[in-house]
Structure 1
């Protein structure tokens, strides 16, 4: 599992100009089963996405395909973690610790 934290690195008008393309990309990742949650941060200086997987290279490639990244209006902090406990309804995403 990965936490993807987006932080805007460009003025709001540059980010807003790419928002539609970014949201289309987000929708594609949900449809592909890569993302399970997303939303804006408060204050609005970026966003947070939960991504499913254990292959960091694959997730890094997904991040690199974001129009925000391609147009250099945001940076990502990618944090991998093992989700060993979940709320009811999220059991399918639980993972076993390795090592």
Structure 2
């Protein structure tokens, strides 16, 4: 599993201008099964995406298609981890 942390590097006005395209990209990745959760950071300095893709290099290729990446609006930090314990509601995140 991967935690992707996006950090905006431009004013929010520029982020907002590309937000609809970013949301469409996210919806496509959910439909493909690449992303499990996503949302804004608080305060709004970027966002977080959870992915269960198996290969980091493939994940990087998927992230390169994000309009925020294409338009150089955010930096991306990827952290890989192996969930070993969850609440009952999130057992789907455990690797078998």
TM-score (norm 2): 0.94
SS of 1:89's partner is helix
Q: Which runs of 4+ in 1 moved over 4 A?
A: none
Q: Does 1:86 find its partner at 2:86? A: yes
The equivalent of 1:8 in structure 2 is: 8
Q: Does 1:24 find its partner at 2:24? A: yes
Q: Shift of the alpha carbon at 1:77?
A: 0.4
Alignment map for 1:8-87 (pairs within 5 Å): 8-87=8-87
Q: Shift of the alpha carbon at 1:80?
A: 0.6
How many residue pairs get aligned? The number is 96
C-alpha separation in 2, matches of 1:15 and 1:93: 30
C-alpha separation in 1, matches of 2:35 and 2:6: 14
Q: CA RMSD in A?
A: 1.1
Structure 2 unpaired stretches of 5+: none
Q: Shift of the alpha carbon at 1:91?
A: 2.0
Structure 1 unpaired stretches of 5+: none
